[in-house]
A and B are shown apart, each in its own frame.
Chain A
Amino acid sequence: MAEAPPEHRPMASDGDSPLERKFDRASLAALRSELSRYAAGHGLTDLALANFVLAVNEIATNAVRYAGGQGQVRVWRQGRELWCRVVDEGHGIPRRYLEQSHRPDPLHVSGHGLWLARHICADVEIETGRATGTRVLMRYPLPSAARSTDGSL
C-alpha cells in the first residue's frame, strides 16, 4: 500500500508515536488496515489483534452511522495496554444502549456494537451528551501483560 501523505502520518510524541486518523464511511476499511498495522507493531497477533480492530471498528461504525458520518481515532500505548479514543460530534448515545449490560438479543438487527466493544476490551469509558458528542476510550491489554492476551473471552 502507498505511504500515507505526510499530513496523515502519526505525529511524534514522547516514547511511542500515537496513531491519529479521521474517518468516515469511505475510510473505515483503511482505518481497519492502519489499526491492524499499528496494533501488530505493539505485539498483538492473531485473534487478539483481530478483536482489537473489531472493537474499534464497531465504535467507529456507530459514529459514522449515528453521529454525523465521521469521527476521529487516536490510538497509543499506555504501559501494557493500547488505549484508543474515538471522538465524534454527533448527538450522543441513547441511554438504553449505555445501560446495556447483557448481550443484546441476537434476533435484533442492530445495537450490538457497543456491547461487543465492551465485551472485547478490558475497559470502555464513554462520555456522551446531546450537545457534546461522544468520546469513547477503550483499553486493551498487550501480550506482555500477565493476564490473558486474548481480550475476547
Chain B
Amino acid sequence: MDPFDSGIPRPELHIERDGAAGGVTRLAVAGEVDMTTGEQFERTLIGTLDEPGVTRLLLDMAPLRFIDSNGVAVLVKARRTADEHGIAFGLVNARGVVRSVLEMLGVYEMLAAERGR
C-alpha cells in the first residue's frame, strides 16, 4: 500500500520486463490503465519500441486488471509505431475484461500476437 494513501485506492501500473533474448522483448503489464496511468503506459511502450535491437515486442496482459478505451488507443498507437519500425508487436494472455474491451472496440485481432504474422 502506498504510504501516502489514506485508504483510497489509486490506480497503479507496473510494467516489468520479463526478458530480451534474441531481440524479443517481453513486458508483463500489471495493474490498471486509465486516464491517470495512460501516459506512463504510452511512454513505456513507445520507449521500448525506440530502443535499438528490439525486433519483437510481446505484451503479457495476464496481470492487467483494467484498461479503458484510452489505454486501448495507446495499444493501437504502439502497434502502428512498431509497424513503422519493422518490429513485430503483439499481445498475449488478454483475457476477461481486458480481452472484452479489445473485442468491443474491434482491435483484438489486430493486436493479438501470432495472428497470421
Binding site for B on A (CB under 8 A): 1-2, 25-30, 32-33, 46-47, 50-51, 53-54, 57-58, 61, 64-65, 103, 106-110, 112-113, 116, 119-120, 152-153
Contacts and interface: CB of A to CB of B under 8 A. Distances in A.
A120 B105 CA distance: 11
A1 B9 contact: yes
| A-B complex: 3 closest residue pairs judged by Cβ atoms | A2-B7, A50-B97, A112-B69
B62 interface: no
B34 A106 contact: no
A61 B73 CA distance: 14
B103 to A, nearest CB: 8
Given A2-B6, A26-B10, A65 B35 contact: yes
B96 A50 contact: yes
B100 interface: yes
B28 interface: no
A145 to B, nearest CB: 20
Contacts, number: 87
Given A30-B8, A58-B69, A103-B106, 20 more contacts: A1-B7, A2-B7, A25-B35, A28-B11, A29-B9, A32-B32, A50-B96, A51-B97, A53-B66, A54-B68, A58-B68, A61-B34, A61-B70, A103-B105, A106-B76, A106-B107, A109-B76, A112-B69, A116-B104, A119-B104
Interface string B25-68: 00000001011100000000000000000000000000000101
Nearest to B8: A30
Nearest to B66: A32
